Amino acid sequence: SQQGEEDPQALSIQEGENATMNCSYKTSINNLQWYRQNSGRGLVHLILIRSNEREKHSGRLRVTLDTSKKSSSLLITASRAADTASYFCATDAAYGGATNKLIFGTGTLLAVQP
Amino acid sequence: EAGVAQSPRYKIIEKRQSVAFWCNPISGHATLYWYQQILGQGPKLLIQFQNNGVVDDSQLPKDRFSAERLKGVDSTLKIQPAKLEDSAVYLCASSPRRQSFFEQYFGPGTRLTVT
């Protein structure tokens, strides 16, 4: 079963604009990770945020986590055509200790128009 | 460093046939995962190995799927017999350790089409 659900399912923006996608999940977590998938490079890890963190930055990426609402958001600033991809959130559920067993969401398809 | 290697990249078989996929993880990575990704969905974990032992295979359809990790390095995933609904991309991933807070490194995947 899918733990996380991304919103929106699809997003189309112009180059230079910001893109925001959201992820909701169901159970308590140890950490939440965001991955990007495109045909050229496969599935690639972007950023990991721990359950005791609220915000994290990496280059043009900003991730927030609200454990009370069981939700996370990924912001990509100044988007580029190369950011066109599917973005997935993945949660490491907090059961039986930390296991690094990731459960992926349904994904957001981002299209950045040049 | 070399990434996760998978072969073949593509495979087309008829239903009821068998197929095997191979994965070579990043050198030194103790944990290896096999995922199934159906078109339009996120990856779903099938099995997780720690060295050559199975940690989690709760979502592996054991009546037709099997996997092994010889000597704690390479791994093979087999489907026998295949069904139409097995059409998907099969992803292999590895991470340094089983513990949380380590990212997973994914291979390019094997796209399986069952006709």
- The pLDDT tens digits of the residues spanning A50-99 come to 999 999 999 999 999 999 999 999 999 999 999 999 999 999 876 555 56
Amino acid identity, residue A86?
A: S
CATH number assigned to the domain comprising residue B41? 2.60.40.10
* Three-class DSSP category at B21: strand
For domain A5-109, give the CATH number.
Answer: 2.60.40.10
Query: Which positions of chain B have pLDDT values less than 70?
Result: 1, 98-100
Give the least confident one: A8-22, A30-44, B28-42, B68-82. A30-44
- Alpha-carbon gap: B15 to the closest alpha carbon of chain A (Å): 25
Q: CB distance from B25 to chain A under 8 Å? A: no
User: Could you give the dihedral angle defined by the CA atoms of residues B44, B49, B53 and B57, in that order, rounded to the nearest 10 degrees?
Assistant: 0
Total domain count for chain B? 1
Note whether B91 contacts A: Cβ–Cβ < 8 A. yes
Supply the range of the domain harboring residue B18: 5-114
d(Cα B43, Cα A20) in Å, to the nearest integer?
A: 22
CA dist list (Å): A68 to A21, A44, B28, B100: 18, 28, 37, 21
Cis ω before B96 (30° cut-off from 0): no
pLDDT in tens, B13-33: 999 999 999 999 999 999 999
Q: Where are the domains of chain A?
A: 5-109
